[in-house]
Structure 1
Amino acid sequence: MLLMSIRSVCSWLLLFLGVVPGVFAQDSLFTYHLLDSVRQLRPDTSTVRIWLEESRRTAAYFDGHKKENVFLQEAIAMSQELKYPQGLSMAYNELGTSKRNKSQYILAEDYHERAIKYAQEARDSVLLCQSLNNAGVDCRRLDKLQKAFDYHFAALQIAEKIGNIKNICVATNSIGNIQLSEGKYELSIERFQHALKLEEESNNPLGMAINLGNLGYAYQGLGKLDLAIQHYKSSLAINEKLKNATGKVICFNALGAAFQEKKDYPTAMEYLQKALQVNDQVDDKVHMAESYMNIGKLLSVQNKHEEARGFFQQGITLSNYWGFKSMLMDTYKALALDYKNSGDFQKSLEATEKSLLYKDSILNEKAAMALNQMQAIYDVDRKDNQIRTLQHDKMVGELRTKRNVVFIFALAAFLIMLTVGGFFYIRHRNLEENKQTLQLELRSLRSQMNPHFIFNSLSSIHRYIWSNNQEEASDYLTKFSKLMRLILDNTQHTFVSLNKELESLRLYLDLESLRCNGIFDYRIKVASDIHDEEVLIPPMILQPYVENAIWHGLVHKSNEKGQLDIGIRLEGRSLVCTITDNGIGRKRAMEIKARKGKTHTSVGMKVTQGRIDLIRKINNKDASVVVTDLEDPGGEPTGTLVTIILPAEFIF
């Protein structure tokens, strides 16, 4: 009833302002009037759903003005306040899909992973299927095919268990597309046929058209061109019935390619010309540019070079006007091949250079976009942490208020014990405040580790990009993003499990190995009597010493490959961590540092030493760091041993 009343209020407001629902997203004044009206509603789950509904209806307005959808932001904020995981999952699904539509796939994957987490918390199987399928699509766009397969397969298993046909179709079709891209045509055909059968039973013509087209691609990959053409034509018939211009263009282009492969050039040209005609009905002009390029390729293989270049030039002109860099890269590449086949090698070289120029531009844009998206993910995580901290402070404040009330009543009831009770209370409070002060100092020191490490890693990514090592930059960035996620998770806690800390340390060492061109190897050995899921350790406590061993010991080593050994063992109630390197030693490192005129002191070492001192004060237990210089029998330095002793903490 509440949901119906809210909708009635919104409908009344539409009539009052004289704006019909279908066009209100074009009116910014109306949008913000509606925003204010919904903000006046009582905060509950029904209001969250209203925010989500309005976010979908206003999506075109906010996308057109390149603004964040405030309705979605309000839905997320209210869901967090209400601790409503279902609302958070739906909102993050919408937000992730919006980012994917703008080709911001890293952000989309992050938001859809949040949606999965909250759908699991809400125990909503349908929402979980949808979230898993969305994350799978993001991974496919990022070429993470194995991860995409895992997401879609998990969605398929859940959807089949609950009998959700829509998500079964999505997951099955997506798995088929992954297998198609990997060249597993027979397996993909089985998936597409199963999905087609389900779409037919559900009477979903668009789904039928998509799966028929996908079957055509699979049969063409197997060289069964007649079967491929048959399925393309079946898909085309449905798209024509649906008056789906984009679908018709895709089918015409596919048919043109199939007939070209059959060397039936007149029929291929007929279909490509039809695609060109239908392109006038499609808003996205990239399809028209693609059609010009395909016709040019067809003419080129027939040695009609002048005609081919005319179509190539039309595609280039259109792509320049709309800024289709990827299409420009492909068209110039096709033009270069045409010039080469006609014997004009100079012009072929010029066209190739232009193709490579656009390729470099695309790679640079992707790298910049990836960095921006990682920064956005970091900002969102930081904002979420601030919200959680505020909620925690509010709860602590309420608990303190209750405690004070109880304390006042206790004093009234036990006046005789006022002096003794007051003495012990003041003493206890002073001890607690002193401990809280030490813990705040420890938290402050721990928080300094993030910007210190992030600065070094971003500098390395910057170096890779400027040195035009896109593949290494991409690999480095992928590992860096995973490491950042672990650090952001781990540094929220005073202690984390040993296996999580070692996972982040391995990622860090992999990144440093890439950064140093593999000049060292490393080993991590955990004693057999340690269960790394149960032992706790302060986060980022080993990383500064590992970093120091690499950059002051191993990078200067020239006569043999560097070796870094990390050992973890228990001695009584203490956790002993050792970091051993075969570097040049501290004395030689200080000489090199003095020769280069460097006076910088390691921030990471200084901060970590402060953390260990505070751990010793808070716990009244043994916690120390000992650095030992290693030497051979002749007194020559052979490396450094760092021994870190921490109080042993356990989950149970």
Structure 2
Amino acid sequence: MFLRRTITLLILQLFLMVGATAQDSLRVFGLLDSIRGLRDDTAKVNAYLAKSRTVYRYFDKGGRENPFLQEALALSVRLNYPKGRAEAYNDLGTSRRNKSQYILATEYHEKALKAAIESKDQRLIATSYNNVGVDYRRREMLEKAFDNHFEALKIAEKINETRSLTVAINSIGNIYLSDAKYEAAIREFTRALELEQQGNNNLGVAINLGNLGYAYEGLNQLDRAIDYYERSLAVNQQLNNHTGMAICYTCLGTAYQKKGNYAAAMVYLQKALEANEQVEDKVHLAENYISIGRLLNNEGKLPEARKYIQQALDLGHQWTFNYILQEGYNAMADNYKRAGDFAKSFDNTQLSLQYKDSILEERTSTEFAQMKALHEVHRKDNQIKELQQDQEINQLRIRRNLALVIALAGFLFMLIVGGFFYIRHRNLQANRQTLQLELRSLRSQMNPHFIFNSLNSIHRYIWSNNQEEASEYLTKFSKLMRMILDNSQHTFIPLNKELDSLRLYLDLEALRCSHMFDYHIFVDDEINEEEVLIPPMIIQPYVENAIWHGLVHRKEKGRLDIEVTLNGRILEVTVTDNGIGRKLAMEIREKKDKLHNSMGMKVTEGRIALIRKINNTKDANVEITDLHGPEGEATGTKVRIVLPAEFLF
């Protein structure tokens, strides 16, 4: 009856396990099918990668390839998406490393590194270098491990990526620790500890405190090592991390054993035993039994020591821990040797050596299996490349045919558009020529207007001054006329020529007005006066207006400022006077001559309007602003002339 109930319960448990597995399979492959239905793009690759990281345990437990990663990798190759390839290869390599398949892990992680470099993603490059470094460290190839972690360190420092930086520093510390360079290891672990504390990563803090304990123990500074182990233990207790607690208890037991304090060592090893019983990985529990057994051997408590060592051997046989069996039989051999039973000591030594050989054979077999798997990886990569090439050839054929159709349609379209634009361009050219003729006509009006005003000024000057000053005035006037007639032959002239003629004009007006005003011309240092072009006689009418309607009516000496600046492709000329202002000037003008109009300013405004039309721009206008003092009194006028900049080269 009891046997029947037991069999029934076992069958029920089996059905439940099978049912749960079937449900997991349906859920996982349902997720896979849902992603396969998406459009092929980088978002689909990222979806494969994200789901892979949530279900990887399912495939690891079953010992099967992760189809999410395989699909992500194949699609990344088809899309030429190096970042996706790097992420997939990194995850594949980490999966292999977790199974202690370090050769395969290195192969995948080096592929990830190449793809990451191609993607130019600095964070991903640093992560990949760290992964390769860890693989080489596990393979005890410390020089290569150091080189890769150092590259990751440089990149992480450059981009200020804390996670990669911490991993690199911690790994370099472990390399120094493995090479017995304890001082260098302490330096790196201390730096890593500071970074983990700044990032509030308590697990990282616990690990680096423990690493510092290992380094100080290597230097035989046992008190300092014990201090760091205790600090690491306190953090692990806060995290309720049983694995970390067990490791710290074991380290404390070992340190106290080295100090010769066997009682304290036993207390900590027993605590490690309690913590290890709550950890799934039983290899730590087996190692704990061996540590207690060896401590009891040293204390001479040989029968009690055998019990602990035997428990380690039982776990080794149950879970096929060859390393535990080797160490366990070696500890048992030492126990019997101390007891004087040399025959049993010899038998246990032989068993330890057998398992040592078994470990070497297993390692060789594992490496051979990894090499076979590596060959399979290369074969799959070649298949993916061949598939990609076939797809590219088909796409090229489709593109060629499509290009022919598009070229023919494009040719017809270009004929139509070209004809339209040719007709439009011809009309625009005709309009432009008309506008330029109008502009030339207006410019030609400036010459007689200015000459009339200047001759009128000479007439007044001769009647009011002596002959020598009149002769000097005529000499400067003739020079000015020559410059104006020469400049008027061109649509645009260099800025320095326009300013030279303006200075000569201002000198003449200053002479005629008995130096009733001073003037100053400022040109921005960034302007090359010989390369920047300006329409001739565009500033003079506003200067003339400022003198004769503003400055000459002042009782005190006036001032005229002309400023030329360049903002990008906009030339700005500002004419500022401290005259009587437009309102008072208008009143004076109305009293003297109600019919007089400013011919020069009207013509110039017309010229600027035509420039605006020809260049099809709003950046050509004139702004006139009345200036006022703190009590509202008129203090002058400011004229801002804005023109599109033209350049000689």
State the TM-score, normalized to the length of structure 1: 0.58
* 1:294-313 aligned within 5 A: 294-313=291-310
User: Structure 1 residues 25 and 326 mapped into 2: Cα distance closer, same or farther (>3 Å)?
Assistant: farther
Alignment of 1:5-404 (within 5 A): 27-399=24-396
Q: Deviations over 1:162-191 (max 9, x none)?
A: 111111111001000010011000000000
Q: How far apart are residue 321 of structure 1 and its match?
A: 1.1
Residues 611-639 of structure 1: per-residue CA shift (max 9 Å, x gap): xxxxxxxxxxxxxxxxxxxxxxxxxxxxx
State the AA in 2 paired with 1:191: E
**Distance in 2, Cα, partners of 1:350 & 1:112:** 44
Shift of 1:108: 0.6
- Structure 2 vs 1, CA of residues 49 and 395 (structure 1 numbering), >3 Å: closer, same or farther? closer
Structure 2 counterpart of 1:76, one-letter code:
L
Residues 241 and 394 from structure 1, CA distance in 2 versus in 1: closer, same or farther, beyond 3 angstroms?
A: closer
For residues 246-279 of structure 1, the C-alpha deviation after alignment (integer angstroms, 9 at most, x for no partner) is: 0000000000000000000000000000011111
- Unaligned runs of at least 5 residues, structure 1: 1-22, 411-652
**How far does residue 322 in structure 1 lie from its aligned partner after superposition?**
1.5
Q: Is the 8 A contact 1:25 1:61 kept in 2?
A: no
Secondary structure of the residue aligned to 2:180 is coil
Amino acid at match of 2:320: G
Q: Secondary structure at the match of 2:281?
A: coil
Of structures 1 and 2, the larger Rg is shown by 2
Instruction: State the AA in 2 paired with 1:119.
Output: A
User: Partners of 1:409 and 1:192 in 2: how far apart?
Assistant: 64
CA deviation vs aligned residue, 1:82-118 (integer Å, no higher than 9, x gap): 1100001001111111111111111111100011000
Partner SS for 1:360: helix
| Distance in 1 separating the partners of 2:224 and 2:394 | 71
Query: Conserved in 2, the CA contact under 8 Å of 1:25 and 1:58?
Result: no
**Could you list the per-position Cα deviations for residues 212-235 of structure 1 after superposition, in whole angstroms to 9, with x for gaps in the alignment?**
000000001101000000000000
Matched-pair identity in %? 54
Query: How many Å separate the matches in 1 of 2:211 and 2:195?
Result: 15
Query: Is the 2:166–2:196 Cα contact (8 Å) retained in structure 1?
Result: yes
CA distance, structure 1, for counterparts of residue 256 and residue 405 of structure 2: 90
| Secondary structure of residue in 1 paired with 2:32 | helix
CA–CA distance in structure 1, aligned partners of residues 146 and 323 of structure 2: 26
Structure 2 distance, partners of 1:354, 1:229, is 35
- Residue 405 to residue 262, structure 1, CA distance change in 2 (3 Å): closer
Amino acid in structure 2 at the alignment position of 1:128:
I
User: Is the alpha carbon distance of 1:400 and 1:243 closer, same or farther for their aligned partners in structure 2, counting shifts above 3 Å?
Assistant: closer
Shift of 1:391: 2.4
Aligned-pair CA distance for 1:368: 1.3
| 1-structure distance, mates of 2:201, 2:356 | 39
Q: Name the CA shift for 1:404/1:165 in 2 (closer, same or farther; >3 Å).
A: closer
Residue 343 of structure 1, CA deviation:
2.4
CA contact (8 A) 1:25 1:60 kept: no
Structure 1: how far apart are the matches of 2:235 and 2:309? Answer: 31
Post-superposition offset of 1:390: 2.9
User: Structure 1 residues 97 and 211, CA, compared in 2 at 3 Å: closer, same or farther?
Assistant: same
Tell me the SS of whatever aligns to 1:42.
Answer: coil
TM-score, length of structure 2 as denominator length: 0.58
SS in 2 for 1:116: helix
Distance in 1 (alpha carbons) for counterparts of 2:403 and 2:155: 50
Q: Which residue of 2 aligns with 1:10?
A: none
Aligned-residue offset at 1:334: 1.6
For 1:398 and 1:273, the matched residues in 2 are separated by 68
Q: Whole-Å Cα distance in 1 between the matches of residues 365 and 272 of structure 2?
A: 35
In structure 1, C-alpha distance between the alignment counterparts of 2:124 and 2:403, rounded to whole Å: 45
**Moved beyond 4 Å, runs of 4+:** 23-26, 397-410
Question: In structure 2, what is the Cα distance between the partners aligned to 1:408 and 1:121?
Answer: 35
Report the Cα offset of residue 298 of structure 1. 0.2
C-alpha contact 1:85 1:121 (8 A) present in aligned 2: yes
The CA deviation at 1:311 is 0.8
Amino acid at match of 1:386: Q
Alpha-carbon separation, structure 2, partners of 1:57 and 1:402: 39
- CA shift, 1:338, in A, is 2.2
Deviation of the 1:313 alpha carbon: 0.6
Cα deviation code 1:464-496 (max 9, x no counterpart): xxxxxxxxxxxxxxxxxxxxxxxxxxxxxxxxx
Amino acid aligned to 1:89: A
Cα distance change, pair 97–263 in 1 and its aligned pair in 2 (3 A): same
The answer on whether the counterparts of 1:105 and 1:138 sit within 8 Å (CA) in structure 2 is yes
Determine if contact 1:24/1:30 at 8 Å carries over to the other structure: no
Could you give the per-residue CA deviations for residues 483-534 of structure 1, whole angstroms, max 9, x where no partner exists? xxxxxxxxxxxxxxxxxxxxxxxxxxxxxxxxxxxxxxxxxxxxxxxxxxxx
Distance 1:402 1:323, change over 3 A: closer
Whole-Å separation in 2 of the counterparts to 1:406 and 1:209? 63
Letter in 2 for 1:184: K
1:346, CA displacement in angstroms? Answer: 1.4
Q: CA shift at 1:342, angstroms?
A: 2.8
- Measured after TM superposition, the shift of residue 397 of structure 1 is 4.6
For the 8 Å contact 1:25–1:57, the answer to whether it is kept is no
1:405 is displaced (CA, Å) by: 9.3
Root-mean-square deviation over aligned CA pairs: 2.1
Aligned equivalents of 2:169 and 2:187: distance in 1? 10
Amino acid corresponding to residue 224 of structure 1 in structure 2: Q
Give the Cα separation in 1 of the matches to 2:155 and 2:331: 45
Cα deviation for residue 404 of structure 1 reads 8.3
- Equivalent AA in structure 2 for residue 141 of structure 1: R
Give the CA deviation at 1:352.
Answer: 1.1
Q: Secondary structure at the match of 1:53?
A: helix
Contact 2:74 2:384 in 1 (8 A): no
Q: What SS does the corresponding residue of 1:330 show, helix, strand or coil?
A: helix
Q: Return closer, same or farther for 1:303/1:114 CA change in 2, 3 Å cut-off.
A: same
The CA deviation string for residues 137-180 of structure 1, in whole angstroms up to 9 with x for no partner, is 11111111111111111100110111111111110010000100
Answer whether contact 2:77 2:388 (CA < 8 A) is retained: no
Distance 1:59 1:405, change over 3 A: closer
Residues in 1 aligned to 2:191 and 2:147: alpha-carbon distance in whole angstroms:
19
User: Counterpart amino acid of 2:252?
Assistant: L
Distance in 1 (CA, whole Å) between partners of 2:299 and 2:181 is 31
Please tell me the residue identity of whatever aligns with 1:281: Q
1:273 is matched by which residue type in structure 2?
Q
Structure 2 counterpart of 1:40, which letter?
G
